[in-house]
Structure formats: C-alpha cells, structure tokens
Amino acid sequence: MTFVEGPVRASVPATSANLGPGFDTLGLALDLRDELEAEILPDGLVVEVTGEGAGAVPLDERHLVVRSMRAAFDRLGQSPSGLRLSCRNVIPHARGLGSSSAAIVGGVWLARELVAGGRLLLDDAGLLDLAATIEGHPDNVAPALLGGFVIAGRDDADGTGGPDGGFWAVPGSVDPRVSVVVFVPPTPVSTEAARGLLPAEVPHADAAANAGRAALLVAALSGRPEELLRGTEDRLHQAYREPAMPESLALVSALRADGVPAVVSGAGPTVLAFSDGAGTTTTTALLDRCPAGWRALDLAVSGDGARSPGLEA
C-alpha cells in the first residue's frame, strides 16, 4: 500500500445537533465550511491554522485533526513518515456548531484520501464509525460526513448501554423552504461543562414528550415547516444547561414566545432559529434581533457533507 503524491483537500460543514428534542440523535449540516489540506512529508509534522482557533489550538500531535488522521491511518494499517496539515477555519470554536466534529471528520477524510485506494479499504460507514468513536456520539459527525439532516445513534450489542454497539446514521429530507439563522455569542462554553449539568435521570413524562416532539420534528423538517415550533419543544436538556448559558436560554425563550422555532445549537451557547430563506422578511427580522456583541449568520442547510474540492493548478 502506498500514499498518493501531492496534497489532498477536505471541505467539512458546520453542524447543529440536538435541535431541541433530538438530544444526541438529530443533526443538521450548515453551509459554513472549514477547509483543510494535507500531504505526506519525508519526515516531521507541520501544522498551520488560520481563522478560528489560530493562536489557541496546539500545532503538534495534540491537534484534533492530526489525532484523527493518526486514528484513520491506524485503521488503514499505515504510518506516514511525515505530515503537513493546513487548516482554514471559519466554524466558531466551542459555540455548539460542530467545530470539533468538523476537525474529526476532516482528519479521517484527509487520511483516507492520502492512502492509495483508501476509499476501498475504509468506506463511509467505516469512516462514520471511526469519527463517532473519536467524538463519543454521532449526532454531529454524521451530518458533517453525510450532509443534510441526519438521524443518528448507536446500537448496544448487549442491551446494557455499553460500548459494544455500532454507530448508525440515516439521512432525512429537508424542505427547501427551511433555512436557519444562528446567533453566536462572544463567550464559549465547553461541551464537557454543558453535559455536566445534565441529570442522570429525567421524569418519564418528559422523556415521552420529547419522543413525540422529535418524531414531529422529522416530519416538520421534511415537509411541514409550519410544525417546527411545536416540533422543537424540549424537556430533556436545554433548561438544565441554563446556568452555563443564561443569555442563550433567555434568547431562546424570547424568540419562542414570538412564535419563532428556536433552540440551543448543540451543547451551546449558540442559538439556532429556523427561518424560510435568505432575504425573506422573516430572516431579516431575525437578523435584526441579534444581541449586542453577538454575531448573527444566515445559513442554508448544506446538502453536502465532507468532500474533496479540486486542487488549483
């Protein structure tokens, strides 16, 4: 087995997971993309980062893309002599828009592309399993890899919730009328801190309500966008996370009180509101509601997941 000559590229979208009731299950790819490039070197490791995370992320073996590439090389039975990695990041870090999943998917994708015949040795199902194993759950890495709206989960081989089950992902459809506006606050919140606020158990009534709302959300996204407000109701995780992001939950509550389907994006603190396309009255009104010091982005749903753009001559 050999490596390909010259650089390879990966383009990976931002993602929003949970989407209200779909905790650790539902994810949406958004049209905001990190661009990565890698090639094999005779020796050493060179990591370059521009944009989001520049000056803050490590530029050595600790870099998440590098770690993900190493995991994929191991899965492929390869050990390159040296690597160069270049990352142009636009996805905000630690804001609930899947920056870590984009890094993981980008890393495993680049490693597979660098190995001659890599796609035959590690198909997309294998790539998903590897990326989800690194991330710990599939709801962000699945749409980052596959694009669009994805329902994802994990099978438990022995029924005990242990680590022996495989990851799965099923693409859903998205009505062309659906777009989003994301409100990105200036202060990050770590996923670990947000998850640490969740209780070990929830009332059965809340779990049942969320199951119904999650099913409704799948239908709402696919062709009944008028049901998005009801379909994004949540009782499992958002309220518990309020101490870590009170401004975000206040914005969600204010938007929903005005009939806007709004949720915490991923583990937060970004707020995602469903809209009906760029330039519409609804979208313009949402952009005008951006809190002072925050950023508001009008984004389409990305039908494409990870891809390899052509290299310029």
Helix (H) or strand (E) holding 195: helix 191-196
Q: 263 is written with which tokens?
A: 């949720």
- pTM comes to 0.93
Binding-site residues: 92-102
Q: Decide: 158 and 181 in contact? Cβ < 8 Å.
A: no
Which residues, other chains included, contact 220 with Cβ-Cβ below 8 Å and sequence gap of 6+?
A: 226, 227, 228, 230, 231
DSSP 38-89: EEEESSEEEEEEEETTTTTS-SSTTSHHHHHHHHHHHHHT---SEEEEEEEE
Q: Where are the domains of the chain?
A: 8-172, 179-300
Q: 72 is written with which tokens?
A: 């994929």
Q: Which CATH class is domain 179-300?
A: alpha beta
Which residues, other chains included, contact 51 with Cβ-Cβ below 8 Å and sequence gap of 6+?
A: 87, 88, 89, 90
Q: 101 is written with which tokens?
A: 């999943």
Out of 3.30.230.10, 2.60.40.1190, 3.90.180.10, 3.40.50.2300, select the CATH number for domain 8-172: 3.30.230.10
Binding-site residues for ATP: 92-102
Handedness of CA 148, 270, 125, 6 (dihedral sign): positive
Rg (CA), the chain: 19
Cα separation, 31 vs 182, in Å, equals 12
Q: How many other CB atoms are there within 10 angstroms of residue 75's CB atom?
A: 18
Provide the residue-wise pLDDT of the chain in tens; the chain has 313 residues. Answer: 589 998 999 999 999 999 999 999 999 999 999 999 999 999 999 999 999 999 999 999 999 999 999 999 999 999 999 999 999 999 999 999 999 999 999 999 999 999 999 999 999 999 999 999 999 989 999 999 999 999 999 987 444 444 556 899 999 999 999 999 999 999 998 888 888 898 899 999 999 999 999 999 999 999 999 999 999 999 999 999 999 999 999 999 999 999 999 999 999 999 999 999 989 999 999 999 999 999 999 999 999 999 998 754 3
